[in-house]
Amino acid sequence: MKIIVLFGSPNENGSTKLLVNEFERGATEVGHSVEIFDCTKANIHACTGCVSCGYEGPCVQNDDMQGLKTRILSADMIVFATPLYYYGFSAQLKATIDRFCFFNSSLTRKRMKSALLSVAWNTDDWTFDVLENHYKTLVRYLQMQDQGMVLGKGCGTPGMTSRSMYMQDAYDLGKSL
């Protein structure tokens, strides 16, 4: 299976990356190919909502989304990887997701698999409620097949994350595919 990870953390060596690395290790051990696309380094503009694309392109914006569209549509699975920023996706990942608009129909028809990897400093029971609901709504709308979520509570620093059970959970998720 071909997997694309949409990495949405501006901290390239932070807790989110630790989970991504473990997920990738598990997935590649069982024979899957994993590509990590760094949304924070890409030239991706916010969707203007003009709908000139008619939900099936082309987009009027000239940025890195055209190339990412090709990569996504050639994959079998998308993994959304984000730190929890104010109870949602990071701005960089959210901007990327919003731009799915110009290939919405192709993406929906593909019925891809998906997963979510996220970390947060907070440990409250409700910490991931909004992000989890947003992810589930996105998966439902795009007719994706959720393969699982790793929601790392209390992962405010790479040291905290590396000592957490979430490292194993990310590895296990990748290996289970």
Q: For the chain, state the CA radius of gyration.
A: 15
CATH number reported for the structural domain that contains residue 115 in this entry: 3.40.50.360
Across residues 31-35, what is the average pLDDT?
98
pLDDT given at position 57: 81
Predicted confidence (pLDDT) at residue 106 exceeds the cutoff of 90: yes
Average pLDDT, rounded, for the chain:
96
Provide the percentage of residues in the chain whose pLDDT is more than 90. 96
Residue 50: exposure state from Cβ atoms within 10 A (0-12, 13-18, ≥19): exposed
Is it the case that residue 17 has pLDDT exceeding 90?
yes
Are 72 and 39 contacting, i.e. CB atoms less than 8 angstroms apart?
no
Q: How confident is the model at residue 55 (pLDDT cuts 50, 70, 90)?
A: confident
Has residue 37 got a pLDDT over 90?
yes
Indicate whether this model's pTM tops 0.95: yes
Q: How many domains are contained in the chain?
A: 1
Mean pLDDT of the region 111-139: 97
- Cα distance between residue 100 and residue 6, in whole Å: 12
Tell me which residue range forms the domain holding 127: 2-176
pLDDT of residue 153: 97
When pLDDT is averaged across residues 117-135 and rounded to a whole number, the result is 97
